[in-house]
Amino acid sequence: MVIDCHGHFTTEPADFHAFRGAQVAFAEGRSADRPAYDGVDDDTLRGIIADHQLRSQRERGSDLTLLSPRASGMGHHVPGQDIATEWARLSNDTVRRICELFPRNFAAVCQLPQTVDGELGPVVEELERCVAAGFVGCNVNPDPSGGRWSARPLHDPWWDPLWAAMTRLDVPGMVHVSGSCAPALHTTGAHYLAADTAVFMQLVEGDLFQRHPGLRLVIPHGGGAVPYHWGRYRGLAIALGRPPLSEHLMRNLYFDTCVYHQPGIDTLFGVIDPKNLLFGSELLGAVRAVDPETGHHFDDTKRYVDALGLDDRTRSAVLAGNARRVYPRLDALLAAQGR
């Protein structure tokens, strides 16, 4: 079995985008009319997924994708908790319906209604609602400001109510920023990868997993620059008086394989223990181009993993077993399906 831990619903219909544009205009005071939207009907959803995500699954040899709303569209910088909650509910309910239409192909991961200045109460409430509806994980934005980095670091006690809820509910979080509001930071080429790297350093500095030993976090996009600069982080941990990274972080922290060339995957597996790696492709996400050097899509990451020549046990763990271990609600869901 092949489980892709990193997928987004990025093929929304035009009226879905139009509603969000009108909603943002209302939230920012550019429109006096609060928009309403009935959502996407099942037939439209079924056709969209069959023509895009499901087709790519079959072509690339994966079986199930952890699906969440479009990351760049979470828009946590948009003002107003009520708007954030309304948008998260619509986005999450749309993903839930996709997973109900294709229960053997997708499992749901939720967006949280974070805001720049808001509290975590509504965030925890939406997480609880989604878990009760069958979601197996969540995405956590470490920078709701969209590139201005006004949020407290993840090890700050301010975040503790969310970490406590995730531990209680036994759901991991993928640490994933949303769109960039900074003109100098391209969303997918700079903001995403810089955030992955910055978050790792936050965790090095703090004691998050000592305070929340049951918490599990996934840093996407292969951990950003972390594997390439592993020696730097080992050295900084020593300088800061922290335990070795294997003890300080890597009992609770995981990276995905959303790295879009073979040398990058080779480095990732050469530095990070495979038990901390989950197969992922970010389908359909950041890069939708064909590599002219290989003739394959850049984000067809299973090809890179296959080329590593891993032994059967390690390969099985990376492609499925690790995801089932890190996402126990996913494991329970698959077991109930006889898989």
Q: In what order do the strands lie in the sheet with 64-69?
A: 3-9, 64-69, 106-110, 137-140, 173-175, 217-219, 253-256, 277-278
Contact 140, 113 (CB under 8 A): no
Q: Which of 274, 273, 277, 215 is nearest to 244 (CA)?
A: 273
User: Is residue 59 among the annotated active site residues?
Assistant: no
Q: Which of 135, 103, 95, 102 is nearest to 12 (CA)?
A: 95
> Which amino acid is located at 55 in the chain?
R
The alpha carbon of residue 306 and the mean position of all alpha carbons in its chain are separated, in whole angstroms, by 23
Work out whether strand 137-140 and strand 106-110 pair parallel, antiparallel, or are unpaired: parallel
Contact 270, 310 (CB under 8 A): no
Contact 63, 9 (CB under 8 A): no
Residue 109 and residue 162: Cα distance in Å, rounded?
16
The total number of residues written for the chain in this structure = 339
- Beta-bridge partners for 254: 218
Q: What is the dihedral angle through the alpha carbons of 339, 265, 249, 154, rounded to the nearest 10 degrees? A: -90
Q: Of 100, 128, 282, 293, which is the active-site residue?
A: 282
Which residues carry out catalysis? Answer: 282
